[in-house]
Amino acid sequence: MDDKNLKGHLISLLWGGALAALLIYADQATKIWSENVLKDSAPIPLIDGVLELQYLENTGAAFGMFRDAQTFFFISTVAVMIIIASVLTRMPVTKRLFPLRFLLYIIFAGAIGNFIDRIRFRYVRDFIYFKLINFPIFNVADICVTCATILLIILMLAFYKDKDLAFLSRSGNQ
C-alpha cells in the first residue's frame, strides 16, 4: 500500500472510529438512562398507543429467538466485526464507496453496543417499543444495525456495480 492509500485509510479509520465511538456512547448512555428511569416502572408513552419507552432485559434476539444463546451471540458478533474490519481494510478510500464505508462503521458500532451489554450483563437492555404493531422492544444499537443493514442492501442492489465491489474478491491489499 502506498503512502497516499495508507493516509486515506488512516483518515478513514479516524473519522469512522469517531463515528462508531459516538454511536456506542449514545447507545450506552440511553441504556443507562433507561435502566435508571424505566426499570421497575410503568411504561412511558411518547405517542399514546403507538410508541412508548419500556425497559426490558433481553437474553435473546428479536421476537424471543435464541433466548439465552450467549455463546452464539458472542461468536456471531465477533465474526461480524472481523468481516467488517476486513472489508474496511481492503476497501479503497474513494468518494463512490463512502456510503458503504459509512454504513459499515454504523453496523460495527451497533454490534459493539449490544456486545458490551452481553459481555457485562449476559443480556441486552432494550427500551423502545412500537406498541401499535407490537414490534419487539429495541435500543439504539439495534437501530444502527437494522437501518444501516437495510440501506447497505439497497445500495448493493441498486447503486454499486460488480466493478465497484471488485476489492472484495481480491486477496490482500492492492
Which cell numbers hold the place of 62? 428479536
**Using an 8 Å Cβ cutoff, are 112 and 19 in contact?**
no
Assess whether 164 carries a catalytic annotation.
Answer: no
State how far the Cα of 162 lies from the Cα of 1, in Å rounded to an integer.
23
**β partners of residue 128:** 53, 138
Q: Which residue reads 459516538 in cell numbers?
A: 22
Question: Annotated catalytic residue: which of 2, 126, 162, 164?
Answer: 126
Assess whether 142 carries a catalytic annotation.
Answer: yes
Q: Which residue reads 432485559 in cell numbers?
A: 57
Q: Which residue reads 445500495 in cell numbers?
A: 155
Question: Annotated catalytic residue: which of 3, 68, 142, 164?
Answer: 142
The amino acid at residue 40 is: D
Rg of the chain, C-alpha, whole Å: 18
State how far the Cα of 163 lies from the Cα of 166, in Å rounded to an integer.
5
106: left (phi over 0), alpha (psi -120 to 50) or beta: alpha
Q: Among all residues, which ones are annotated catalytic? A: 126, 142
